[in-house]
Each structure stands twice: as C-alpha cells, then as structure tokens.
Amino acid sequence: MAEPARPHKPRLSSKAEALRRRRERAMAGGGAEKEKAQRAAGKLTARERLDLLLDEGTFEELDLLVEKRCRDFGLDQKYLAADGVVAGFGRVNGRDVCVYSQDFTVMGGSLGLAHAHKICKAMDLALEAGVPVIGLCDSGGARIQEGVESLGGYAEIFYRNVQASGAIPQISAILGPCAGGAVYSPALTDFVYMIEGSSHMFITGPDVVRNATGETCDFESLGGAATHSVRSGVCHFVAGSEHDCFRQIRELLEYLPQNCREKPAAVMASDDPGRKSELLGRVAEMDARKSYKIHEVIWELADGHQFLEVHKRFARNLVVGFIRLGGESVGVVANNPSVLSGALDISASEKGARFVRFCDAFNIPLLTLVDVPGYWPGMEQEYNGIIRKGAKLLYAYCQATVPKVTVVLRKAYGGAYDVMSSKHIRGDLNYAWPCAEIAVMGPQGAVDILFRRELKAAGNQQRRRQELVDSYAKQFASPYQAAQRGYVDEVIPAEETRPKVVKAFRFLKNKKVVGVAKKHGNIPL
C-alpha cells in the first residue's frame, strides 16, 4: 500500500532565505544579554514599546536594513542592528502617525549619522503626510566614534522639529536617559512625557556638574521626572510606567487634529449640553477671600466631567488642559485660587503662553476661566523678568485667532484682567458671574490709595474704612460697570455657565480672522 502523501512545505529560494536572515539579524537588537539588562532596568525593548503604543498589526517599518558608514574606533568590527533605532509608521486609535523608537540595547541607543537619517525620514514623511510624529527616546546621546557626523545628525533633527512646529503635533516620550544634544529635540516638540524613576534629561551629567561647579547631585535630582515636571517645566506629563505612558499618549491624541489644516475630530456628545450645575452656584456664593479648587469648576463644565490636564505639576497657579464641550475638543486656561491666589507669575505666564499658542496652531478653541488678583509681586519676579516673560501670555492671546470664550468667575484685577483673554485683546464672547469683581485693583488697596487723607483724618478709621471699601466694591468691583461698557457681553448665573459656553463655541465654530500681512511677529522671549 502506498504511503500517504506528506504535506508540502514550500522552500525559500536562496535570495528569499538571505533576506529572511538579514531581517532577523536586524530585528534582534543588541542580543539576548543586552535585552536582559534592559528588562532588569525595568524597561521594555524598542519594538515592544511600539507594539504597545500602536494599534495591533498596523506598524510598517522603514530602513530596517540601514547600517552605519563609520568604520573608525573599532566600529568596523561591530554590527549595529537597525543602527539603534526602529522607525516607521502605524496607527493610534485608527489614525495614522509616524514613529521612531530608540534601541538602548544597541550601543546605548547612541545617535550616529545613519540613526539620525532614519529619524529624519520618519519626520519628513510625517510632515508630508500631515500626521503626528511620536519619538520614543532612550539614548545615551551622540555616538562619540562618529564625531561631527553625529552632531550634524542631531542638527538635522532639530531643523525638522522647527519646520514641523505648528504644522503637525510632535510628541516625545523619555523612556530612559536623554543627555547632551539629545535633549533639544524633545524640548522643541509640543509635549514631553517622562516615567517616574527611569527617565532622565540633562545637558551635562552629575559627574560633569560636580567637576565644573562643585555641586553634588544624582541622576534623579538633576534631571528626573520630578525635577522637570515640577521645577523646570520641561516635562508635561508624568507616568508611573511605560504602559501608563503609552495609554496617556493615546488619550492625548484623541483631543488633537492630525495637522494644522484640520480641526480636532468631534465625538458624539456624552453629556447634556444644557446641563446646569448647582455646585457652580455654590462656588459663586463663597466668601471672595476663600479659595477653591479650579478643577471642580472645569469638571463641572466638561462633557462627562472629563479633563486631561497638561503640565499638572508645574506652575499650579495656572491650570491648562483639554476638555470636550458638546463633543468638541476645547483647550482650557484657568487661574487656580488655591495656589498663589491664582496670581500670574513667570512660570504660569510661560506655561499658559505655550499652551495657548499650541491650541491656536491646531485649531483648538480656547475657554478661559478668570479668577486672578494680578501678577505676583516681589524682587525675585522682577529680577527674573516678569515684565518680559509675563508679556508672553499677553502676546499669545493677542495672536490667537481660534474661537475664544472667557468667563470671569470672581476676581479680575489690573493688567491680569486684560491679559486673560479680555474683550480688549479680542476675546470673542466674554461672560461674568454676578459675584465677579473687575477693577484696577481690589477694594482694600483702592481705598487705601483713593481715600488716604480722609482715613488719616477720620476718628474711627476702621469703621470708615470698611464703609468706603463696601461702597467701592459695590460701585466699581462688580461686573456691571464692565457690562455697561460692553466689555462683558453678559452677566450670567453661575449655574448656567456650561449651557452658555457650549452655545458660544457652537456659534463661533466657523470663525475666520484675516491677520496683518508680515513674515512673523517677535514674541518677547
């Protein structure tokens, strides 16, 4: 009896087999030992990171077989798989993105010329296709063996960051070390993510700092996630793990358009656009001297009470981030009375200006919630340039042409009233709660100046002072004088704030502004 036929196993041709081997070698990274060390450090591999970030099965790799050209300092004896970076395109939540992921298992993810060219190709494609670009950074810096070519590679990346700025969203995730010249590319992108305990960014490391200045520090205190999210403001989002980081990136992209020519995609409204809020009514009735958490106001206004805060740990006297109103993406800028009484200082001004300019570049309307006593006083602020740096927020609002809706919640004093998207700098629709106080300064300070002689001559100074304060507050520190002059479009019950702003943005949806013809302005940097 004849033997049953064996299943046919197709044999690869010699050329196909050679290709398979080349691909496997390039995809192997730095090898099993280096991969083991990467995992021991609590980090994922470059390819695992892309698998987690991108929709399943959507990644298309480019330049897998690219190799270094440098042969000096023993590099001719080394094979650098994919030259230490995985690059290509894929999808996040069904939308196209370009990505690159540095591979620390290959010479510490160091950047050489071929490595840089792969990143540049991904960035060029992103700009041409009009899609966001996401960089997953895990690199020891420039590849010293390649000398000036590695520096030239960095500069090519920096140039592309600037060309893409305001044209496509750029996101950087710092997933390990990021030192020297490597830090400037993330700094030029729109949003920077860091991981607690494993991400580090600095121009020079602890050893160089100690030798140059005598200061003693470690990686974490010099350039960890806490340092850059709280003190320097370089980091916008902090994650507890890489998995959490990729989840946060996916969430952020939901609020953004693909490029500057589009608007953010709307979603089906998950909340009643006419919903009123008793909580806002209670906030409006609070003693004006008491603070509250501005987040509670934002949550009450947002669809589904959802708010994606940006720069959460930095300059907490100003809160910025994204919400949806009637299903549409909206950027929020709000003073926070629970920190520095909501006053504007240097850090808050720069934080707000950066966010306003991002929203304006990508067609995201702006909701401004005002409760500001003025600019924060003091010699340190003056010495460090509050005049120039504080003007950045003013410049950003004046320049912004997206729909701008403003609500004065309580205080709006002095120049800070002007800066926070007032009617005078072209806020489109400006509302105020009945408890709002809009004036050059607070009643207490105004009375001290205006009635100084009378108070000095008064017998019962304290009683007379209080009478004058009450009179001034009633006449000047209210929303009605501003409303009489058209600087406030409507004084509204606090409970009705959400319906009002939803209708306002719906009306302004197709707003168009023709600017002054010029090359560009000169923001006070």
Q: Which residues contact 244 (CB under 8 A, 6 or more apart)?
A: none
Q: Are 357 and 323 in contact (CB under 8 A)?
A: no
Q: Are 300 and 279 in contact (CB under 8 A)?
A: yes
pLDDT tens digits for range 172-187: 999 999 988 889 999 9
Total tally of structural domains belonging to the chain: 3
* SS3 of residue 247 by DSSP: helix
Of the candidates 95, 84, 154, the residue with the CA atom closest to the CA atom of residue 120: 154
Tell me if 461 is assigned to some domain.
yes
Find the domain containing 242 and state its range.
24-253
Whether the pLDDT of residue 254 is over 80: the answer is yes
User: Among the options 30, 84, 181, 223, which is catalytic?
Assistant: 181
Tell me if 30 is assigned to some domain.
yes
* 428/470 same-domain check: no
Helix, strand, coil tally for the chain in percent (to 5): 45, 20, 35
For residue 30, the one-letter residue type is: G
Any idea of the CA torsion for 21, 24, 28, 32, to the nearest 10 degrees? -70
Tell me if 342 is assigned to some domain.
yes
Q: Which of the two residues, 345 and 444, has the higher pLDDT score?
A: 345
* 245/140 same-domain check: yes
- What does the alpha-carbon distance between residue 365 and residue 401 come to, in Å, rounded to a whole number? 9
Q: Which residues contact 263 (CB under 8 A, 6 or more apart)?
A: 257, 363
pLDDT of residue 441: 77
* 187/291 same-domain check: no
Pairing of strands 95-102, 85-92: antiparallel
Over residues 203-216, mean pLDDT? 90
On average, the pLDDT of the chain sits at 91
415 is catalytic: yes
* 45/79 same-domain check: yes
- First and final C-alpha spacing in the chain: 90
Q: Would you list the DSSP string of 382-409?
A: HHTTHHHHHHHHHHHHHH--S-EEEEEE
| Residue whose tokens read 């494993």 | 198
Tell me if 524 is assigned to some domain.
no
Note if the pTM is more than 0.75.
yes
Instruction: Provide φ and ψ at 277, rounded to 5°.
Output: -135, 115
Whether the pLDDT of residue 1 is over 80: the answer is no
pLDDT of residue 70: 58
Of the listed ranges 24-28, 152-156, 477-481, the one predicted with least confidence: 24-28
Tell me if 147 is assigned to some domain.
yes
Q: Would you list the DSSP string of 126-150?
A: HHHHT--EEEEEEE-SB-GGGTHHH
- What does the alpha-carbon distance between residue 467 and residue 464 come to, in Å, rounded to a whole number? 5
* 178/300 same-domain check: no
Residue 96, token pair as written in the block:
């196209």
pLDDT of residue 515: 85
User: Among the options 129, 415, 445, 458, which is catalytic?
Assistant: 415
Tell me if 302 is assigned to some domain.
yes
* 456/390 same-domain check: no
Over residues 387-403, mean pLDDT? 97
* 454/503 same-domain check: no
* 304/290 same-domain check: yes
* 41/61 same-domain check: yes
* 163/193 same-domain check: yes
Tell me if 392 is assigned to some domain.
yes
* 370/347 same-domain check: yes
pLDDT tens digits for range 492-511: 999 999 999 999 999 999 99
274 is catalytic: no
* 428/450 same-domain check: no
What CATH number does residue 103 fall under? 3.90.226.10
pLDDT of residue 72: 57
88 is catalytic: no
User: Among the options 416, 432, 436, 477, which is catalytic?
Assistant: 416
Whether the pLDDT of residue 317 is over 60: the answer is yes
180 is catalytic: yes
User: Among the options 180, 205, 331, 352, which is catalytic?
Assistant: 180
Q: Which of 219, 253, 287 is the last residue of a domain?
A: 253
Q: Which of the two residues, 191 and 470, has the higher pLDDT score?
A: 191
Whether the pLDDT of residue 489 is over 80: the answer is yes
pLDDT tens digits for range 5-57: 666 666 667 888 888 888 888 788 778 888 899 999 999 999 999 999 999 99
Number of other residues whose CB lies within 10 A of the CB of residue 188:
17
Tell me if 1 is assigned to some domain.
no
Over residues 296-305, mean pLDDT? 97
